[in-house]
Amino acid sequence: MLVRWIYISESRIPAANADKEVGDIVNFSMRRNRSIEVTGALLFTGLHFAQYIEGPAASVDALKISILRDPRHGEIKTIADGSLSHRHFLNWSLAYAGPSRFVANTIEAALDKAMHGGRNNIDRLVKLMTEFTIQGRS
């Protein structure tokens, strides 16, 4: 059974270390996710993370536990989870667009709406994640 977990968290990474730390997270996660059949996307604004994780229930649960314990994340809020009929990020062990001011501003607005809105705002966030990651492969 496929499941998903979508969360938003506050970054606890000092700004001076952010590029390197997030790069390390992405590189490690790509390898790990491939090995446990997880796909998904990560967005980072400098202030917040938003991540969409999909795959076998046991794999997603293990990643969730790991992320909840990770000191680089604070105020983790689940915005959607549960069973899934198909993958949204089939070709991506971890899609990541990289940092940019435009991306950060666009994502921060979408994160705020997703945290305080209903299902339509969560669906818009997932669509935004797929649009930012459509150009490459992991």
Which pLDDT does position 135 carry in this prediction?
45
For 57-107, write each residue's pLDDT tens digit: 999 999 999 999 999 999 999 999 999 999 988 888 888 866 656 666 777
Prediction pTM value: 0.75
The fold adopted by the segment(s) 2-133 is: Alpha-Beta Plaits (3.30.70)
The b-or-e profile of 67-93 (16+ CB within 10 A means b, else e) is beeeebbeeeeebeeeebeeebbeebb
For 106-136, write each residue's pLDDT tens digit: 777 777 888 777 777 788 778 777 776 644 4
Q: What CA–CA distance (Å, rounded) separates 86 from 84?
A: 6
* 27/138: higher pLDDT: 27
Contact at 8 Å (CB) between 114 and 8? yes
Which pLDDT does position 97 carry in this prediction?
65
For helices 101-116 and 119-133, give the axis angle rounded to 10 degrees. 160
Residue 6, CA atoms < 13 Å, CB-side half-sphere: 23
